Amino acid sequence: MRWQGAPFRTSGLLMLLGVNAGLVGWIWSLAASNNATRIDSSRWTVNWSDIGAKVTNQKPLDSYQRILAHPVFFKSREPFVPAPPPPRPSPGAPPPVVLADPGLAVGGVMIRNGSSKAYLYSEAGMGAGWSAEGETFQGWKVKSVDKGGVKLEQAGRSIELLLYPRD
């Protein structure tokens, strides 16, 4: 393998190295020389006669009471607006009664010779049994039994339990 242009590269690098060395030497000579120019510090003096004149020309502090009471960038600077009174509760209709599911289901229906019975059971496993029309099952009175299901009533509330779900 032959390097082409290696002498040119080497001579270029040597020239850059010489320039860098010259710059470093020049900076070193500037730092070592004592010919640096100095800046004389200026002196500040207080003119006491002007201070006394400014104090006597100031407004009294009482003239700024409104500004001091309401700073510029504070929310308290806005004029006071009282909150609107709370709305009166409307005497509307009483809330609807939440009807809880009694947890009853129909297991079967038996209609025979004019009498009808339904097999009712509690989904919570509290009990089960055959009940005819007019009988009571877990506090619910059986109003009617037909081939589709049972109608129950308790305290003026009636529910219909279906034997098969409707489509």
**DSSP letters for the chain:** ---TTHHHHHHHHHHHHHHHHHHHHHHHHHHH-S----PPPPP----HHHHHHHHHTSPPGGGGHHHHHS-TTSGGGSPP-PPPPPPPPP--PPPPPPPPP--EEEEEEEEETTEEEEEEEETTSS-EEEEETT-EETTEEEEEEETTEEEEEETTEEEEEESS---
Q: What is the pTM of this model?
A: 0.41
Q: What is the pLDDT along the chain (167 residues), one digit of tens a residue?
A: 566 667 888 899 999 999 999 999 998 888 877 665 566 667 777 777 766 666 667 778 788 887 777 667 776 667 778 899 998 888 877 766 666 667 888 999 998 888 899 999 988 877 889 999 999 988 889 999 998 899 999 888 888 988 887 76
